[in-house]
């Protein structure tokens, strides 16, 4: 990951524009982990029932689906 | 201490809770031309106790010749039993659960209480009796339909009904019993030539814990690993299987079932670990039960068949009641 402690509250996900010739910049989302807000680079979004998840690779190397802070 | 609630519905014994007036019955009159047949089976199979294997033999090559066993509408038993154990509802070594609710509707050739479905719980801390028989007991009311249940229903009980052959009975129990295990059994009183079909719902609670989410066969897959059983408990739902910590459960499951799909819910981190699974295979009702939970993929499925088998069995053991039909 992915994440660093930003200490602030979640806001709207950033959506930097993709630059031609460069790999697409991943969308960043703030999630609450271990009592802190951290930024994660999101690989995608998945919906399960009434919940939306963001997908990313966590610090432990596992593919992770976190409830989206919408 | 938070508690989790488990609901187990049994709808595989001929009737189903979502059918208000199932007409299920079997014919046990030996003078009837359709003796041994079962009709209007809603789901699964009724049970028929028929010991005469001379007239209706069980041939290993051709199968059971008893009519309903032959056509697949009943499970035939060829020996009588006082109390017939059908399945283990849950077994939590080293942990306690609290039985809270038990509802049973049965159709049978016997008048109550002979056809009642029993829940056998092992009470804690009592040592005698060894088994707690919730039914029958002189202080419980046993009623035949129609019956009015003012607590469980907002109006007079469903639609009172009768069946073509046999009796309809309902039992409802609500209370609190501490127990570490519970078994679904039927009191048959050693009678022969009897049949019954039923559906029942059991509600219980257990201390919030990490869970092993894998549907297991209690007799074939559970007992052989008795030395490891304290890593997590058994529940017929395949979901409500508490252990002491998620790491131990993951370690044991990796050792025992490396080629199957399973999940482990860590109730402290609120993470559902998936093995041979992806979120695509996690049913919405499970997400709702464990919410809020994130998911981590320990290992993606080697092939879709393994993951699908886990999902199918989990859905089968946790049959969701179909949504009620909307009124005009």
- The pLDDT confidence band at residue B83, using thresholds 50, 70 and 90, is confident
Is B294 in CB contact (< 8 Å) with chain A? Answer: yes
Give the residue carrying structure tokens 């088998």. Answer: B309
pLDDT at A4 over 60: no
B44: left (phi over 0), alpha (psi -120 to 50) or beta: left
**What does the mean pLDDT of chain B come to?**
83
**Each residue of B124-161: pLDDT tens digit?**
433 333 344 554 443 444 455 555 555 554 444 445 67
Q: 3-state DSSP call for residue B279?
A: helix
Specify the pairing of strand B38-39 against strand B211-213. unpaired
Please give the model's pTM, rounded to 2 decimal places: 0.82
C-alpha B326/C-alpha B323 separation (Å) is 9
Q: Provide the pLDDT for residue B156.
A: 42
C-alpha B82/C-alpha B15 separation (Å) is 23
Contact map slice: A 31-60 vs B, CB within 8 A: 46, 48-51, 53, 58, 60
User: What size, in residues, is chain A?
Assistant: 70
C-alpha B98/C-alpha B124 separation (Å) is 10
Q: Which residue of B has its CA nearest to A56?
A: B296
Q: Provide the pLDDT for residue B75.
A: 97
C-alpha A63/C-alpha B295 separation (Å) is 8
pLDDT at B196 over 60: yes
Pick the closest to residue B248 from B238, B233, B259 (CA basis). B233
Pick the closest to residue B263 from B244, B235, B282 (CA basis). B282
Residue A13 main-chain phi, psi, to 5 deg: -60, 140
A18 Cβ neighbours under 8 A, 6+ residues apart? A24, A25
Q: Provide the pLDDT for residue B48.
A: 97
- How many Cβ atoms sit within 10 Å of the Cβ of residue B220? 8
Among A59-68, B14-23, B217-226, which stretch is predicted with the lowest mean pLDDT?
Answer: B217-226
Answer for the pair B276, B262: CB distance below 8 angstroms, yes or no.
Answer: yes
- The pLDDT confidence band at residue A56, using thresholds 50, 70 and 90, is very high
Is B1 in CB contact (< 8 Å) with chain A? Answer: no
Vertex B138: Cα angle to B134 and B144 (nearest 5): 80
Is A8 in CB contact (< 8 Å) with chain B? Answer: no
Q: What are the CA-CA distances from residue B24 to residues B20, B114, B197 (Å)?
A: 12, 18, 7
Distance from CA of A69 to the nearest CA of B (A): 12
**Each residue of B92-129: pLDDT tens digit?**
887 889 888 888 888 988 875 444 566 665 544 333 33
Burial class of A62 by CB neighbour count within 10 A (0 to 12, 13 to 18, 19+)? middle
C-alpha A14/C-alpha B13 separation (Å) is 55
C-alpha B134/C-alpha B152 separation (Å) is 19
Mutate to test the interface with B, among A55, A63, A64, A70 (most CBs of B within 10 A): A63
pLDDT at A11 over 60: no
> What is the pLDDT averaged over residues B272-279?
97
Residue B68 main-chain phi, psi, to 5 deg: -75, -30
How much of chain B exceeds pLDDT 90, in percent?
49
């Amino acid at each position: 990951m992915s994440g660093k402690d930003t200490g602030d509250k979640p806001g709207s996900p950033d959506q930097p524009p993709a630059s031609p010739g460069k790999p697409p910049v991943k969308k960043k989302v703030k999630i609450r982990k271990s009592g802190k807000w951290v930024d994660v680079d999101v690989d995608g979004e998945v919906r399960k029932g009434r919940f939306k998840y963001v997908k990313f690779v966590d610090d432990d190397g596992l593919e992770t689906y976190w409830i989206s802070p919408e | 201490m938070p508690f989790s609630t488990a609901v187990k519905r049994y709808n595989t014994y001929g009737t189903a809770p979502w059918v208000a007036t199932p007409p299920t019955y079997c014919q046990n009159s030996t003078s009837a031309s359709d003796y041994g047949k079962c009709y209007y089976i809603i789901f699964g199979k009724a049970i028929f106790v028929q010991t005469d294997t001379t007239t209706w033999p069980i041939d290993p090559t051709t199968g059971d010749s008893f009519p309903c066993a032959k056509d697949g509408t009943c499970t035939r038993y060829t020996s009588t039993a006082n109390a017939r154990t059908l399945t283990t509802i849950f077994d939590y070594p080293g942990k306690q659960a609290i039985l809270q609710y038990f509802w049973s509707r049965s159709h049978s050739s016997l008048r109550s209480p002979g056809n009642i479905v029993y829940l056998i719980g092992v009470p804690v801390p009592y040592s005698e009796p060894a088994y707690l028989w919730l039914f029958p007991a002189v202080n419980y009311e046993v009623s035949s339909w129609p019956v009015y249940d003012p607590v469980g229903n907002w109006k007079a009980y469903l639609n009172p009904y009768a069946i073509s052959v046999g009796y309809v009975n309902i039992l409802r129990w609500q209370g609190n019993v501490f127990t570490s295990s519970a078994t679904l059994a039927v009191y048959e009183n050693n009678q022969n030539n009897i049949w019954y079909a039923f559906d029942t719902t059991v509600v219980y609670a257990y201390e919030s814990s990490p869970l092993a989410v894998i549907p297991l066969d209690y007799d074939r897959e559970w007992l052989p690993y008795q030395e490891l059983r304290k890593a997590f408990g058994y529940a017929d739902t395949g979901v409500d299987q508490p252990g002491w910590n998620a790491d131990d459960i993951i370690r044991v499951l990796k050792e025992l079932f490396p080629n199957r799909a399973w999940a482990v819910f860590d109730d402290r981190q609120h993470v559902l670990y998936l093995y041979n699974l992806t979120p695509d295979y996690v049913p919405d009702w499970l997400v709702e039960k464990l919410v809020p939970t994130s998911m981590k993929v320990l290992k993606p499925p080697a092939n879709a068949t393994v993951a699908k088998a886990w999902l199918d069995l989990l859905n089968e053991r946790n049959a969701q009641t179909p949504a009620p039909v909307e009124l005009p």
